[in-house]
Amino acid sequence: MRSVRALGAALALGVVTLAAGCGGGDDDGEGAPASGAEVTVQAANGAVTVPERPRRIVSLSPTHTESLFAIGAGPQVVAVDGYSTHPANAPRTKLSAFKPNAEAIIGYKPDLVVVSDDMDGIVKALAKLKVPVLLEPAAANLDEAYDEIGDLGLATGHAAEAKRVTDDMRARIRQTVAASPGGKGRSYYHELDNQLHTVTSKTFIGQVYGLFGLRNIADGADKATGGYPQLSREYLVKQDPDLLFLADTKCCGQNAAAIGKRPGWAALKAVERQGVIELDDDIASRWGPRLPEFVKAIGDAIQKPR
C-alpha cells in the first residue's frame, strides 16, 4: 500500500506506474554549434537563464518529457527518468525523479535540466554545478498547465510550436466539454489506487471533472489530506456515485470486473449501469499534451446512455 505522502509525490511528478528500460535519443546533442545567445525563463525557482537552443536536455518529469517531445524538442533530449513512459522513443535511463542524483545527471553533460519537484534539493545542487534547472511543478489548474508548456517552448527554442500545442489542447477540450452537456449534478468517484485514495474538486484532476459540472463524492470526506483523501468502503457505498473512474488499471490491475467483486460494490449504480470507466493511469495523472485525451474519456462516459 502506498502512503498518502508517497502517493502525493507520485502525482506531483506525474507518475502512477512503474516501468523499466532505457533508450537513446534521436540526437546526441553534438550537432550545430550553439549561437551563444541566451533566453530567460520565469520558472518556479525564479528567473532561469538557458542557452537559446539547449542541445543536451535532461527531463526528470514524465509530464515534461511528453511536452518536450510534443513541441518538437525531442531531438535535444539526451536523457529522461525511468518513469517517462511516453513517447516510446524517449531516451529512458535509470535516473530517478524521486531520488535525483546530481552526479548521475551531470554525467549526461546537460545544458538544461527540467524537473517538476525539488526532491532532495536537486535544484540547488545542480545550480552549484552551474547547470540551468527549470522547476515547473504540478499544475494547479489548466492555465498553469498551458503556461508550463509555453515555458518549455521558450527555453528550448520552440515557442511557436508550444503555442500550437496549447492552442490545440484548448480547442479539443472546449469541443469535448461542449459536446457533453449531461454531466451537471451527476456524482463521480476517481480512484487513484485500490486502497480507495482519491481526489477532491480542489485538485487539478478534480477541476478537470468540474469542467463538466460533475459532483465529487470525496469533497465531503476531505479533512487534512491536501485534496487526496482515503475513503472508507462504507462511505463510498453510501455515496453510491453515478460514475466510477479507475486510474489504477496499470498500477493495481483494477477494472470493472474486479471492482464488481468488492464487498457491497455490485449494487452500486455505476456498476449496475455500466458507469465504470477504465482510464490510462499515465494520461489521467499528467498535465501535459495528452490532457485532452483524459477530458475525452470523461466526456465519452457522460454521453453513454444512463
- What are 3-47's pLDDT values in tens digits? 444 455 555 555 543 222 333 333 343 333 344 689 999 999 999
CA distances from 278 to 98, 204, 248, 253 (A): 27, 19, 8, 10
- Residue that terminates a domain, selected from 132, 149, 172: 172
- The 10 Å CB-count burial string (b at 16+, else e) for 139-163 is beebeebbebbbbbbbbbbbbebbe
Predicted confidence band of residue 250 (pLDDT cuts 50, 70, 90): very high
Of 32-46, 180-194, 244-258, least confident by mean pLDDT is 32-46
- Contact in structure between 75 and 55 (CB atoms under 8 Å): no
pLDDT for 43? 97
Question: With bands split at pLDDT 50, 70 and 90, how would you rate the model's confidence at 52?
Answer: confident
Do 75 and 149 share a structural domain? yes
Residue 3 inside a domain? The answer is: no
On whether the CB atoms of residues 260 and 227 are closer than 8 A, the answer is no
Is residue 224 over pLDDT 90?
no
| CA-wise closest residue to 59 among 110, 118, 129, 119 | 110
**Domain carrying residue 90:** 17-172
Confidence (pLDDT) at 14: 57
Final residue belonging to a domain, choices 154, 172, 190 = 172
Same domain, yes or no: 90 and 124? yes
Residue with the larger pLDDT of the pair 139 and 1: 139
Cell 511516453 belongs to 86
Which of 144, 172, 200 lies at the terminal end of a domain, its last residue? 172
Query: What is the pTM assigned to this prediction?
Result: 0.88
At 289 the pLDDT is 98
Instruction: Compute the radius of gyration of the chain from its Cα atoms.
Output: 20
Q: Mean of the per-residue pLDDT values for the chain?
A: 90
Residues 147 and 40 in one domain: yes
Task: Indicate whether 10 belongs to any domain.
Answer: no
Is pLDDT above 60 for 214?
A: yes
The verdict on residue 255 lying in a domain is yes
pLDDT the model gives residue 305: 75
Looking at residues 207-213, what average pLDDT do you find?
97
Tell me, what's the pLDDT at 13? 59
